[in-house]
Amino acid sequence: MTEKFKIHGGESLKGEVSIGGAKNSVLKLLAAAILVKGSTKIYNVPHLTDVDIMLNVLSDLGAVCNYNKEEKSVVIDASDITSITAKYELVSKMRASFIILGALMSRCREAIVALPGGCAIGERRVDFHIKGLEALGAKIKIENGYVHAKASKLVGTDIYLDIPSVGATENLMLASVLAEGSTRIQNAAQEPEIIDLANFLNTMGADIQGAGTSEIVINGVKADCLHETEYTTIPDRIEAGTFMAAVVATKGKAIIKNVYPAHLTFFNDKLIKMGASIKLVEPTTIEVSARSRLSSINFVTQPYPGFPTDLQAIAMTLLTTSNGVGIITESLYENRFMQVPDLRRMGADIHQDRNHAIVKGVKNLTGATVAASDLRAGAALVIAGLMANGETIVEKLHHIDRGYEEFEHKLQNMGAKITRYNEEDISGMPSMNSAILNTKGGI
C-alpha cells in the first residue's frame, strides 16, 4: 500500500503544536536499557517506525518490550538476554541499531552485529566505533557482513575520535560503562542526545562525567551497581526546528511546546537573521512567527553546537523563496542534497556544486509531485508543499514516518491542508491510520 501526502499550499500555520521525545536519543536509550538485568521504563517515547525497529532488535535479543501508546512510555525487561546477534534484516532497516554493539559488549562481552551499509545521504562508515572497541580490548572480526566483537574483559583507555561522531561516542560510552578503570573519549560529540544518554546511564548507576563537552570520562562500575530505573527522554530538537521552519515558511504565528530552546541556538539565530520572530513564552514554550518575505542567509552544517545537518534540507526550503542568494555548505555528509532536484521541479533556483548549494530566492514555488529520499529531505518537501501555489503530492512517506510522529495531524491542527491517502484511493481522502499502524509486531 503506497501512501502519499496531498498538500494544498498557501495556508499560514497558526495555533500550537507539542514536540515529542527525541528520536535520536530514544533509540540509544532503548539499546542502553539492556545493560540492566531487570526492567527499565522510558517516558516520552514517540510512536515511530524507527522506535519499532529498535524494539524488534531488543526483542530478538531476548528482552521483553512493552510500549504504552497512551502514556508514550516503554518498559524493557532485559532480565534475560538470550542472543548476542543483531540480524542484517533489522540493522539494514535502520543504521541506528548498530548502537546495540556497545550495549551488548557491556552486557555480554560479545556481540555479533550486522554492518550497516551506506545510506542515501552518505557512506556513513563505522570505523571509529570499531577502533574504539579494539582500544578497549575487544577482538574484532568482520566476516560475512557482520562485526563479531569479543572480549574476556574491557579495560578503560584514552580514545581520540578523528571526527566527533555521535554514534561512535554513544557506542563507546555504552561499551565503557562496565569496563575496568576509566575511559576518556576525546573529541567526543557534544549533542544534547549524548548528554541524555549519559544522564540515563548515570540514573541506572553508571559513572559518566563531561557529556556535552568534547571530553567524556566514563569511570567503569561493577555490573551489580547498575539497577532498574525510570527516565524521560528530552524533546526532539529536529522536530521542533522542523515545525518552527514550517510556521516561518507559511508566514504564520504559532506556539511550540515542549522544546528546549538552548538545543537550537544556532538554528534560532539563523531564523531570526532571516526575519523570523522567536519569543520565549515559558522555559519550554516558544512563539514563532514571520510576517514578510524572508531574507537569504549563508550557513555551514557542523557538529553540535553548529548548524544541524538534520535541518539543512528544511532550511534550504526556506531559502528557495527568500530575498537574495543563500549559500549552503554541507560538511557532514557527502550526499545530503537529495531534495534539490525535487525543489527545482517546484520552481526553486538552486545550483549545486559538490557539497555547496547556491539558492537564489524565487517569488513562489509551485506544486508538483515529489518524493521523499530520506527523512529530513521528506520533511523539507512537505514544507515546500505548504509554501507552494497549488497542489503538491509527496511520495515515499515511509521515510517521513521514521522520524515524525503524526506529522500530518500536527500540521492539520495548525491549519495546514494536508491529507494522507492511499494510491488506490483516487478520491484523495485521508487513510484511516498512518503507516505506523500498519506495521506488524512491536509497538
> What is the binding site for ligand EPU (CB under 6 A)?
24, 27, 96, 122-129, 163, 165-168, 189, 309-310, 332-333, 375-376, 403
- Cα 319 to the center of its chain, rounded Å: 23
Minimum distance of ligand EPU from residue 169's CB (angstroms)? 8
Minimum distance of ligand EPU from residue 293's CB (angstroms)? 29
Nearer to ligand EPU, 162 or 349 (CB): 162
The active-site residue, picked from 65, 108, 119, 225, is: 119
Give one word for 258, left, alpha or beta, with left for phi > 0 and alpha for psi -120 to 50: left
**Rounded CA separation 258/2 (Å):** 32
**Rounded CA separation 266/263 (Å):** 8
Give me the helix-helix angle, 23-32 and 192-203, nearest 10°.
30
Does 119 qualify as catalytic in the annotation?
A: yes
Nearer to ligand EPU, 127 or 423 (CB): 127
Q: Give the nearest residue (CB) to ligand EPU.
A: 167
Nearer to ligand EPU, 164 or 385 (CB): 164
Minimum distance of ligand EPU from residue 80's CB (angstroms)? 27
E strands, 72-214, are: 73-77, 85-86, 110-114, 139-143, 146-150, 158-160, 182-186, 207-209
Nearer to ligand EPU, 128 or 267 (CB): 128
Q: How buried is residue 143: exposed, middle or buried, by Cβ count under 10 Å (0-12/13-18/19+)?
A: exposed
**Rounded CA separation 375/389 (Å):** 23
Minimum distance of ligand EPU from residue 384's CB (angstroms)? 17
Beta-carbon contacts of 301 under 8 Å, excluding residues fewer than 6 positions away, are: 307, 308, 309, 312, 328, 329, 330, 331, 332, 336
**Rounded CA separation 401/439 (Å):** 11
Q: Which residue has the cell 532571516?
A: 274
Nearer to ligand EPU, 116 or 385 (CB): 116
Q: How buried is residue 149: exposed, middle or buried, by Cβ count under 10 Å (0-12/13-18/19+)?
A: buried
C-alpha cell at 225: 551497581
**Rounded CA separation 54/381 (Å):** 27
Minimum distance of ligand EPU from residue 125's CB (angstroms)? 4
Minimum distance of ligand EPU from residue 237's CB (angstroms)? 10
Nearer to ligand EPU, 71 or 162 (CB): 162
**Rounded CA separation 266/278 (Å):** 13
Minimum distance of ligand EPU from residue 123's CB (angstroms)? 6
Dmax (CA) of the chain: 64
**CB of 321 within 8 A of CB of 294?**
yes
Give start and end residues of each alpha helix (H) in 158-281.
166-176, 192-203, 237-249, 265-274
Minimum distance of ligand EPU from residue 40's CB (angstroms)? 19
Nearer to ligand EPU, 165 or 229 (CB): 165
Nearer to ligand EPU, 125 or 344 (CB): 125
**Rounded CA separation 10/263 (Å):** 30
Q: How far is CA 410 from CA 151, 195, 261, 356, 402, in A?
A: 47, 28, 20, 32, 16
Minimum distance of ligand EPU from residue 292's CB (angstroms)? 31
**CB of 203 within 8 A of CB of 229?**
yes
**CB of 35 within 8 A of CB of 204?**
yes
Nearer to ligand EPU, 84 or 189 (CB): 189
- Which residues are tagged catalytic? 119
